[in-house]
Structure 1
């Protein structure tokens, strides 16, 4: 499990929920802040991939892409290369919603959550996240706001101002392919990594347009 670090981080809001919020798995819910280092296109020849480590350089997650497909699949793996979730989107989709399934499943009985733009006309300023149990989608369970290119995105609990994860810019001069994400206590950090995979995939889609 990832360990806390001394890296400067935001102070959690006073109304933050202290109960664990497992989405992909309870083993990914730490009682401490977790700092994740994202390394884009490093240590891997997989398409559309990156590696996620803790601050000590231990690999926690990696991503393999299946870009030559009708669904633009990506698979999030743990540090032992076990598939955690499959992320997929149909090419023909007005709102470009991304569906996340447990393991390598594509069956909706294994559906965990869905991510889509708050508005079809906006330029990816806000993404809404709906857990599988939220079938009506009258409200979002999480919301992502910010600028992906600037690595300045924040994940909020629902439509509130409660921060659950926050990106930081590159770690130092010359680290253009690396940035850090701080995940707040008791939030599933594998889930947060899956959201980052989707943000990266959306950016790749824009490059292809």
Structure 2
């Protein structure tokens, strides 16, 4: 769900109650080259340091997802280019998710990134 404050909120049910928020994501800066998202888990109410960050280039169809402000990569995505994707417009993505990382969480971040771009 996109909020009025240009923030994406991921909920565990259809209710928009703040009790159902799993995490939220927002652009690091209003104007930016490439895409940088800050991701905050629901229990991070101060939002002084993000829990995860996504850095990518939609023109290159790739992104890297990091744990917080560290250099620890938890997932990577890039668009798989093929004749079918060019001619038929059917995009395919290759996603590498590192051990002990929730696949659904990574997919949700990629969907948000795609919607932003």
Q: Give the TM-score category using the shorter length.
A: 0.7 to 0.9
| Among candidates 126, 140, 158, match of residue 68 of structure 2 | 158
Aligned to 2:115: 201
Higher helix share: 2
Say if 1:143 and 1:155, in contact at 8 Å, map to a contact too: yes
Larger relative contact order (Cα-Cα within 8 Å, sequence gap ≥ 6): 1
Q: 1:135 aligns with which of 34, 45, 50?
A: 45
Secondary structure class of the residue paired with 2:53: strand
Aligned residue runs from structure 1 range 1-209, under 5 A: 88-90=1-3, 92-93=4-5, 96-170=6-80, 172-176=82-86, 177-203=91-117
In the superposition, the TM-score normalised over structure 1's length comes to: 0.51
Deviations 1:18-65 (A, max 9, x none): xxxxxxxxxxxxxxxxxxxxxxxxxxxxxxxxxxxxxxxxxxxxxxxx
Contiguous gaps of at least 5 residues in structure 1: 1-87, 204-209
What RMSD, in angstroms, separates the aligned Cα atoms of the two structures?
1.5
TM-score (normalizing by structure 2): 0.88
